[in-house]
Structure 1
Amino acid sequence: MGYFPDFSIETWTLLAFVIALIAVYGYAPYGFFKKIGIPGPTPLPFIGTFLEYRRGIHNFDTECFQKYGRLWGVYDGRQPLLGVMDTDMIKTILVKECYSVFTNRRDLGLNGPLRDAVSITEDEQWKRIRSVLSPTGMHLFNDFMFHSSNLIQSLHKKVESDEVIEVKEVFGPYSMDVVTSTAFSVDIDSINHPSDPFVTNIKRMVKFNFLNPLLVLVVLFPFLKPLFDKTDVSLFPADVMDFFYKFLQMIKSDRNKNDHKNRVDFMQLMVDSQVSENNKVDNSSQKGLSDHEILSQAMFFIFAGYETSSSSLCFLAYNLATHPDTQKTLQREIDETFPDKGRPTYEALMQMEYLDMVVNESQRLYPIANRLERMTKASVEVNGVIIPKGTVVMIPVYTLHRDPALWPEPEAFKPERFSKENKYNMDPYAYLPFGAGPRNCIGMRFALLSMKLALVEILQNFSFVTCKETQVRRSFQFFMYDELKVDLNFGFVSFVTHFASLDSIGAGK
Structure 2
Amino acid sequence: MTATTRVPGPAGLPLIGSLLDLRRSSLATYLAAQRDHGDVLRITAGPPGLRAEIYLVASPEGVQQVLATESANFRKDNVFYSEIRESFGNGLLTAQDEDYLRQRRLVQPLFTRRRVDQYADAIGVEAESLVERWAAAPDGTVDAAEEMSRFALRTVARILFGQDVEQAVETVHDAFPVLGAFVRSRGFSPVRLPREWPLPGHRKALEAERTLYAVCDGIIERRAAEGVTEERDGEDLLGLLARARDEDGNQLDATELREQVLIFLLAGHETTATSLTFALHLLGKHPEQQRRAHQEVVELLADGRRPTAADYPKLPYLTQVLKEAMRLFPAAPSIGRRAVKSTVVGGVEIPGGADVLVAPYVTHRHPDHWEDPERFDPDRFTPEREAARHRYAWFPFGGGPRACIGQHFSMLESVLALAVLLREFEITAVDLDVPLGQGITLEVRGPARVKLTHRQEL
TM-score, normalising length: structure 1:
0.79
In 2 relative to 1, CA 78–122 (structure 1 residues): closer, same or farther, beyond 3 Å?
farther
CA displacement at 1:86 relative to structure 2: 2.1
1:305 to 244, 260, 268: 268
CA-atom RMSD in angstroms: 3.0
Q: Give CA deviations for 1:93-122 in whole Å, capped at 9, x if unaligned.
A: 211122x31243524433434231222222
Give distance in 1, aligned partners of 2:195 and 2:340: 23
CA displacement at 1:38 relative to structure 2: 0.9
Match of 1:419 in 2: 382
Give distance in 2, aligned partners of 1:90 and 1:330: 32
SS of equivalent to 1:341:
coil
2:146 to 162, 169, 189: 169
In 2 relative to 1, CA 216–393 (structure 1 residues): closer, same or farther, beyond 3 Å?
closer
Q: Give CA deviations for 1:278-310 in whole Å, capped at 9, x if unaligned.
A: xx9xxx4x8533432221221122223222122
Deviates more, 1:36-45 or 1:301-310: 36-45
Q: Give CA deviations for 1:200-236 in whole Å, capped at 9, x if unaligned.
A: 33343444574x3x4465x347xx7xx65999x9797
Give the letter aligned to residue 358 of structure 1: V
Match of 2:243 in 1: 272
Contact 1:475–1:484, Cα closer than 8 Å, also in 2:
no
CA displacement at 1:163 relative to structure 2: 3.4
In 2 relative to 1, CA 209–483 (structure 1 residues): closer, same or farther, beyond 3 Å?
farther
Corresponding position: 1:374 with 2:343: no
Match of 1:491 in 2: 453
Match of 1:102 in 2: 74
Deviates more, 1:410-419 or 1:328-337: 328-337
1:84 to 57, 60, 65: 57
Give the letter aligned to residue 119 of structure 2: L
Q: Give CA deviations for 1:118-165 in whole Å, capped at 9, x if unaligned.
A: 22222221122122222241122221121111111111122xx43322
Match of 1:385 in 2: 348
CA displacement at 1:478 relative to structure 2: 6.0
Greater helix share, 1 or 2? 2
Corresponding position: 1:153 with 2:132: yes
Larger RCO, structure (CA 8 Å, separation 6 or more): 2
In 2 relative to 1, CA 88–230 (structure 1 residues): closer, same or farther, beyond 3 Å?
farther
2:290 to 314, 318, 327: 327
Give the letter aligned to residue 40 of structure 2: L
Q: Tell me, which stretches of 5 or more residues in structure 1 are unaligned?
A: 1-33, 495-502, 505-509
Q: Give CA deviations for 1:24-71 in whole Å, capped at 9, x if unaligned.
A: xxxxxxxxxx98121112367886544321221110001111111111
Contact 1:175–1:309, Cα closer than 8 Å, also in 2:
yes
CA displacement at 1:170 relative to structure 2: 2.0
Matches within 5 A, 1:381-460: 381-460=344-423
Give distance in 1, aligned partners of 2:135 and 2:410: 24
> How many residues are aligned here?
440
Match of 1:336 in 2: 299
In 2 relative to 1, CA 260–292 (structure 1 residues): closer, same or farther, beyond 3 Å?
closer
SS of equivalent to 1:264:
coil
Give the letter aligned to residue 140 of structure 1: Y
Contact 2:144–2:281, Cα closer than 8 Å, also in 1:
no
SS of equivalent to 1:254:
helix
In 2 relative to 1, CA 287–336 (structure 1 residues): closer, same or farther, beyond 3 Å?
same
Give distance in 2, aligned partners of 1:287 and 1:387: 40
Give distance in 1, aligned partners of 2:443 and 2:148: 15
CA displacement at 1:351 relative to structure 2: 3.2
2:98 to 93, 107, 124: 124
Give the letter aligned to residue 64 of structure 2: K
Q: Give CA deviations for 1:227-267 in whole Å, capped at 9, x if unaligned.
A: 65999x97971111111101111111122122433232332
CA displacement at 1:409 relative to structure 2: 0.9
Give the letter aligned to residue 213 of structure 2: Y
In 2 relative to 1, CA 178–68 (structure 1 residues): closer, same or farther, beyond 3 Å?
same
CA displacement at 1:482 relative to structure 2: 4.3
Contact 1:367–1:397, Cα closer than 8 Å, also in 2:
yes
Q: Tell me, which stretches of 5 or more residues in structure 2 are unaligned?
A: none
Percent pairwise identity? 23
TM-score, normalising length: structure 2:
0.87
Give the letter aligned to residue 440 of structure 1: A
Q: Give CA deviations for 1:369-404 in whole Å, capped at 9, x if unaligned.
A: 121122222333345433322122211211111122
Contact 2:434–2:444, Cα closer than 8 Å, also in 1:
no
In 2 relative to 1, CA 251–358 (structure 1 residues): closer, same or farther, beyond 3 Å?
same
